[in-house]
Each structure stands twice: as structure tokens, then as C-alpha cells.
Amino acid sequence: MRGLTASRGSLTVDLVGPLWRTLPWRALAAAGALGLLVAATPAATGAEPAPWQTLLLLRGAALTGALGLAFLLDDPARHLTAPVPTPRLVRQALRVALVAPLAALWWTAVLLLTPSASRPPAGGVTLEAVTVGAFALAAAALAVRLTDEARPGPFVAAALLLIAVIAPLLAPEDWALFVQAEDPRWSAGHERWAVLAAAVGAVGAGCGTEPLRRRRGRRQPLVRPDGR
Amino acid sequence: MTPTVSASGLSLHYGRTRALDDVSLRLTPGVTGLLGPNGAGKTTLLRVLATAVPADRGAFTVLGHDPGTSRGRQEVRRRLGYLPQTPGFHPDFTAFEFVDYVAILKELADRRERHREVRRVLEEVDLGDVRGRRIKKLSGGMRQRVALAAALVGDPGFLVLDEPTVGLDPEQRMRFRELIAEAGEGRTVLLSTHQTEDVAMLCHRVIVMAAGAVRFDGTPAELTARAAGRVWSSTEKDPGAKAGWRTGTGSFRNVGDPPPGAEPAAPTLEDGYLLVLDDAGTEVAA
């Protein structure tokens, strides 16, 4: 049977179809639709929002999209497919790669739905959206790494929502992230967003690797494999 | 016989809880049963041997490969079939699609050969006729057989089965036993179970675990022999027995140190198991 083993490339191509079907489409579609609704609110109501209001709507839409991404690594067959030769990092990266083009299209639509007159610089707000999305994915990867839960999505989404509420309140003044477009700290703030994006990307990738040794004294998994 | 799986000093802690305590074992081809009460460490041991979680300490080899290295773990996984306690499925997949998905993850790259192999294992578990049916439409027993097919795909040399007969009705359990017995021909199977009948019917060897440690390692006959002369019948439950229960005939079956003049009864594997647990300090009173 080992004679059947061939290159990783052809396996990756074969894996795309089944993996596409295992993605949590309901959660992604619900989050995507809600994000579009949020972004389309001014156009739908005929309102002319101030720049800060448009920025708030875009940040809200980005958070909504990230809440959908929190479910991306949910896999009901996780325990059965845990000890397979295809590394977890490859499987997770493929999932991200499959939704990335759709996410990019979705975000473009979100941007276009907001009034152009009050729209903040697209580059900066897109960086924020990418970072929040990457944060959700890193949190999901961390949950997969640290727990035995096959579907950590709801827990990750709840944690993300909580962090989104408290982060602007607790962030130190000299490390402000949630600044307005006309604020002189906009550029500096987005340098921080870039650092944050790189950091959460690294954490997410690190969590995807499977350790050969366990750190001594790790706590009991939050959920046992039998669900008890 | 040369062991196909060899482990020494496996330990694993969850905080202060010792899930595995210096476990050493050697497995040979055939079905080895793993018995133990809830929390004994059976599932943890299976997950470690299946490379699903790494141990804190200790080492093991599977079919000559050391999963303590990246390359070694990869080689072990290429030769491994794993059926977890709660497999979990993608319910919209058909049985064929799901096993094919697992086969891709197991690096069976040639599509034609892979599909032939998927059909073969589905036939082997008697699901050939329903391979096009969605998993959500299958019964619990059929789903369990889909999981077994997924474990068997790629012809693994080492098969790890975690309580595969739980939740099955007697007929399904009997059919599953036949499948496990067939799977054990020529390959090493480690079967975790609560059912002593599974062990009695299937296994050439049995390991009993309690509190994360191996308490017995031998043949089913040796485990049964542990209870020789330590099982008796009585009209009342004997307060001096380690365990005792009313049987269908109304008399009591007692296990432990019999009082003088007790009416001896033929020991079973379950009696031996209960006595091993009692020796390990595990509560067994029935």
C-alpha cells in the first residue's frame, strides 16, 4: 500500500474538494451576511454618516467577519483524523487558503457598500480587518492545540467578542490602536496593527504544529475526547 | 515473537493528575485487550500510542519507528489505523467520500488505487451496498463501521481501537467482534474495552490498567486463573467478599477470599479482572 504514496502536491489537490465541503459554511455565510448588512446600513437608510461612524461600521463588519472565521478550524472528525500523516498545519493552512479569496471579495464588497465620502483610508482599515481575522484564526488554532474540543468555534467567537469589547478600553494610551482617520496617530497606530498582524500570524502558525514532547504539567484538556 | 509495538516508562500528567504512570508494554501481532475502569488511563495510553498526544516521559516504537522524532512520527502514522471513542463524522459525506477523505489524509495518492482500496475496506466492513449513502442516514452501528473502515484504509500494521463496541446492540457487537478478529489476522490490534466478553472472545492477550498503571499483562487464561479458588456461591451476599452480586438463579456469586466450607464456582475472566482491580486498590464492590 505504501506504493500508493506520491507527492504532497497531488495529495493537496485531492484534498481541496473534501476540505472545501468540511468548511463551516453556515457560520461563515451568517457572519458574512451580517457584515454586509452592517456595512450597507447607511446606504439602506439614506443616512450620511460622519467619518468616525463609517469607520465604526467598518470595524464592526470586520469583527463580524472574524467571528465567522473563529469557526473555520471546527472539525467534527477531528479525533478520527488526528493521527494521519498529513500534518495539522497543512490541513489548517489549506482551510485558510480556501476561504482567503472569498474573504477578500467579501471585504471589498464591505468597503464598496460604505459611503465613499466618509470612508477612511482603505489600506489602514483593511490592515485592521486582516489583523482581526488573523487573531480569530490564531485563537481557533490555539483552542485546537490546547483542548480536545472538535468544535471550539463558539468558545473562540465568544472570547473574541469579549476581547473586542474590552481591548479598546484597556489598551494603553501610548499604544492606541482604535484611532480615527483624521487623528495624527493613524499612521503610527497602523504600524502597531501591522506588528500585531505579524505576531498573531506567527502564533497561529506555531499552534498548527504538533509537538513531539509535551510541556510537563499541562492542565487537563477542557473537554475530554468522549465529550464528558 | 518480536514485538511490533514496544513502550517503556510512558508517563503523562494533566496538572496533578497522573494519567499514565510509567507504563511499559510490548505488543505482538493479534488482538490485545486493554481493560480498566473509567479513568484508568486506557484512552490516554491509546492516544499516546496513536501519536495523537505526546507523553511527558518515556519512549515507544511502532513497527520499528520512533515517534519521538518528526520523521519517525510520520512513519508511524503511515502505518497506523485509529478508531477513537467518539469518532465524529462530516454527516453530509457519503460513506465512500468520508473514507476516501481519510485515505487522502493517509497519503494514498493514486486516485484509482485509492478508490479501489476504499471500496475494499467498505466491503470488508459490510458497507459495500451503502457506500453511496450519506453518513447522516446511517445507523449508529453502520457509522461505527465507517469509522472502522477509515481506520483500516491503507492496510495499517498497527490498529488502535478505543471502545469500538460501546453503544452497539448485541447483534451489531457480535458483527463488530468478527470484524476486529479479522482485522487482527496478521496485524497488531490494541483494543480498549469495558466488555470482558470482548476480551474473552477476541484477544490472545490482555492488559489491565488502573490509576494510570499496568496492573496485569498476560493471557486471558492467566487472568481467569487469578480467580481460581476465589469465587463461590452463597444464598446471601457474603459480607467478606471483595465483590458479590445476585445472579439470575437467585443465588449470590462472590469474589474474594472464600470462607471455610464455601461452595466454589468456576472462575471467569471478569472475576480475575475484578480481583486484579482489588489488588490495585480500586473499588470493585458490586
For residue B283, name the pLDDT band (cuts at 50, 70, 90): low
Give the count of domains, chain A: 1
Q: Do B77 and A84 touch (CB under 8 A)?
A: yes
B54 touches chain A (CB under 8 A): yes
Q: Is residue A214 part of a domain?
A: no
Domain spans, chain B: 1-79+156-214, 90-147, 224-279
CB B11 within 8 A of CB B58: yes
Contacts of B58 in chain A (CB under 8 A): none
Name the residue range of residue A193's domain: 9-208
Asked if the model's pLDDT at residue B276 lies above 90, the reply is: yes
Between residues 116 and 155 of chain B, which touch chain A (CB distance below 8 Å)? 117, 147, 150-151, 154-155
Q: What is the pLDDT of residue A2?
A: 44
Asked if the model's pLDDT at residue B211 lies above 80, the reply is: yes
What is the β-pairing status of strands B188-192 and B30-35? parallel
For residue B168, name the pLDDT band (cuts at 50, 70, 90): confident
Q: Provide the shortest C-alpha distance from residue A76 to chain B (in Å).
A: 5
How do residues A17-62 score in pLDDT, each as one tens digit?
999 999 999 999 999 999 999 999 999 998 899 999 999 999 999 9
Asked if the model's pLDDT at residue A11 lies above 90, the reply is: no
For residue B284, name the pLDDT band (cuts at 50, 70, 90): low
Q: Do B13 and A6 touch (CB under 8 A)?
A: no
Q: Provide the shortest C-alpha distance from residue A224 to chain B (in Å).
A: 10
Q: Is residue A1 part of a domain?
A: no
Nearest to A18 among B14, B104, B108 (CB): B104
Q: Do B89 and A77 touch (CB under 8 A)?
A: yes
For residue B1, name the pLDDT band (cuts at 50, 70, 90): confident
Contacts of B53 in chain A (CB under 8 A): 214
What is the rounded average pLDDT of the residues A115-125? 94
Q: Do A81 and B92 touch (CB under 8 A)?
A: no
Q: What is the pLDDT of residue A206?
A: 95
Q: What is the pLDDT of residue B286?
A: 53
B113 touches chain A (CB under 8 A): yes
Q: What is the pLDDT of residue A228?
A: 36
> CA A79, CA B203: separation in Å to the nearest integer?
25
Contacts of B88 in chain A (CB under 8 A): 75-80, 150
Q: What is the pLDDT of residue A92?
A: 96
- Cell representation of residue A142: 490555539
Looking at this protein, which amino acid is placed at residue B161?
L
B9 touches chain A (CB under 8 A): no
Closest-CA residue of chain B to A146: B53
Asked if the model's pLDDT at residue A137 lies above 50, the reply is: yes
- The DSSP output letter for B28 is -
What is the rounded average pLDDT of the residues A143-171? 93
Phi-psi region of B252 (alpha: psi -120 to 50; beta: other; left: phi over 0): beta
The ipTM estimated for the assembled molecules is 0.87
Q: Is residue A225 part of a domain?
A: no
One DSSP character per residue, B177-245 reads HHHHHHHTSSSEEEEE-S-HHHHHHH-SEEEEEETTEEEEEE-HHHHHHTTTT-EEEESS--TT-SEEE
Looking at this protein, which amino acid is placed at residue B269?
L
Neighbours of B83 (CB within 10 A): 25
Q: Is residue A217 part of a domain?
A: no
Asked if the model's pLDDT at residue A180 lies above 60, the reply is: yes
Closest to A15 measured CA to CA, from B229, B101, B73, B238 = B101
Q: Which of A26, A75, A84 is most worth mutating to test chain B (most B CB atoms within 10 A of its CB)?
A: A84
Place of cell 516521559: B57
> CA B215, CA A75: separation in Å to the nearest integer?
36
- Count contacts between A and B (CB, < 8 Å): 134
For residue A221, name the pLDDT band (cuts at 50, 70, 90): very low
A216 touches chain B (CB under 8 A): yes
Question: What percent of chain A shows pLDDT beyond 90?
Answer: 78
How do residues B215-267 score in pLDDT, each as one tens digit?
999 999 999 999 999 999 998 888 888 888 999 988 999 999 999 988 999 99
Between residues 60 and 119 of chain A, which touch chain B (CB distance below 8 Å)? 75-86, 91
How buried is residue B81: exposed, middle or buried, by Cβ count under 10 Å (0-12/13-18/19+)?
buried
Asked if the model's pLDDT at residue A12 lies above 90, the reply is: no
Residues ≥6 apart with Cβ < 8 Å to A74 = A24, A27, A140, A150, A151, A152, A153
Closest-CA residue of chain B to A19: B101
Q: Is residue A173 part of a domain?
A: yes
Distances from the Cα of B275 to the Cα of B211, B231, B241, B271, angstroms:
15, 10, 11, 6
- Name the CATH superfamily, with its identifier, for domain B1-79+156-214: P-loop containing nucleotide triphosphate hydrolases (3.40.50.300)
Q: Rounded mean pLDDT of chain B?
A: 93
B249 touches chain A (CB under 8 A): no
What is the rounded average pLDDT of the residues A187-202? 95
Q: Is residue A33 part of a domain?
A: yes
For residue A216, name the pLDDT band (cuts at 50, 70, 90): low
Q: Do B102 and A81 touch (CB under 8 A)?
A: yes
